[in-house]
Structure 1
Amino acid sequence: MDCQFCTEFTTREHPTRIITETPGSWLLLPTVGAFTPGYCLFMPVEHLDAAADLTPAHLRRVAAEVEEMRTLIQNRYGPTILAEHGPRDCELGASCCSHCHLHLIPVPDPDVITAAYERSGGPGRRLGSMAELPTAADGSYLYLSPRHGEHHYWPSAGFARQFVRRVCADALGIGDSFDWRDHPFTTHRERTFAELSSDLHIADAACRRKGGTARWRQPCPARYTH
């Protein structure tokens, strides 16, 4: 299968747009179509279709790592939702890419995003944690965590492609710019890479001064390539 993310993550051309890699081999990177500064994807190095394809034990580790990434983003950009359009069994559903990617998107009001999901898919199913996705999902799905400790699940039927991008762009007053193919927002991507890379560098330096070790790996200095 030809996957552009697998190619990118395997070659690791220098410079890279990867902000950091976690001990669990997941990557944080600013997305193409970052219609707001801070908009990132959290993705596995190895090809995986959806987070729900992991075991609950593995997903608990991923959930802990992505919450640390959410905290990193929130500290600079404000409230940040976590979302996934999970394809299953070769059905993309509301997704447009078969390499698992969790959206981390700063928004003014996370509850507005939840309300938009509910208008399209009803109240959905409340989950105790992201780790419940493997048992909840029996087809393509949408997952939304508007804030730490709150998790929602919907089957994908009735949701448009790029749904989370549509509703978040609309909440930001730029609804016509939701499609990453037409609106790459390169300046926002560059800013996000530089600022979050700097924040991680400062945090790691502070940790070392206290006698600790760096938690995350930064593949390169704060440089960026399109």
Structure 2
Amino acid sequence: MSQCDGADFCEEIAGAADTSFHRFYEGDPPHRRAWSTANFEVLADMSPLVTGHLLLLPRKHYLSFAQVLGDHPGETEELLSDISDRYRRTFGEPLVLEHGSGTDEHTHACITHAHLHLLPADGTAVDELLIRDELLYVDLESITQLGDAPWPESAYFLRHHLGRSRVYMPNGNQRRQYLRSVVATTLDIPDPEWDYAVVVRKDCLRRTMEMVESWS
């Protein structure tokens, strides 16, 4: 586990009042927490692509969920199954994605605090686009295998859908927010409106928070 170094996620989880979310949404809604456990948080994405765009992240600072799974394999697998069930009942089948940050290289992950994206998107369509971009991949027998070498030290793209996990290897040609841009293509969101700084979709976050109100 590495030092947090002021990552906004870390500050928000710790209860800080002056965060990007509070400054941008100005109390409407008052928070973006959908669900929490002793070791994990589920937050609405601050700049969602669609209603139902959630983030699952550990309370402690890790660079990737490969590192999280190395320390907490059983708890993480059980939690992901539980949150997927809740998600499915509320938004439909979740597509789970992550750009895991490596420990010894510069990556194009936009936030280095480990986080999984959950979206109501088509996993097969995302696979087709990643393969089109000539990314090599490995299919995992279970999500817990992500905690095995070399993934905790490596940059990677995780796709988890319908209980099946696949890890894609970046080839150096991916732009920043690459996975957002890929999902946006499957959702017919034009370039560059997938960029979290270009279009924020506040109404999608507010609708998401209304729909997860029963989770807590």
Answer yes or no: same fold by TM over 0.5: yes
Residue of 118, 121, 130 corresponding to 1:104 = 118
Residue of 97, 120, 124 corresponding to 2:137 = 124
The answer to whether residue 16 in structure 2 is matched with residue 7 in structure 1 is no
Q: Quote the Cα distance in structure 2 between the aligned partners of 1:183 and 1:59.
A: 36
Give the AA of the match of 2:194.
F
Conserved in 1, the CA contact under 8 Å of 2:136 and 2:169? no
Shift of 1:86: 0.4
Moved over 6 A (4+): none
Consecutive unaligned residues of structure 1, counting only runs of 5 or more, are 201-217, 219-226
Q: Quote the Cα distance in structure 2 between the aligned partners of 1:46 and 1:124.
A: 28
Q: Quote the Cα distance in structure 1 between the aligned partners of 2:105 and 2:202.
A: 30
Give the AA of the match of 1:131.
T
Count of residue pairs the alignment pairs up: 197
Aligned identity (percent) is 22
Residue of 172, 181, 184 corresponding to 2:200 = 184
Residues 161/118 of structure 1: CA separation in 2 closer, same or farther (3 Å cut): same
Alignment of 1:1-226 (within 5 A): 1-11=5-15, 13=17, 15-23=30-38, 25-56=39-70, 58-89=72-103, 91-107=105-121, 109-134=122-147, 135-137=149-151, 138-148=153-163, 150-157=164-171, 158-176=173-191, 177-198=193-214, 200=215, 218=216
Shift of 1:189: 0.5
Residues 90/40 of structure 1: CA separation in 2 closer, same or farther (3 Å cut): farther
Deviations 1:137-190 (A, max 9, x none): 242111111222x11112222333222211111111113221111111111001
Consecutive unaligned residues of structure 2, counting only runs of 5 or more, are 18-26
TM-score, structure 1 length as denominator?
0.80
Give the AA of the match of 2:212.
L
Shift of 1:92: 5.0
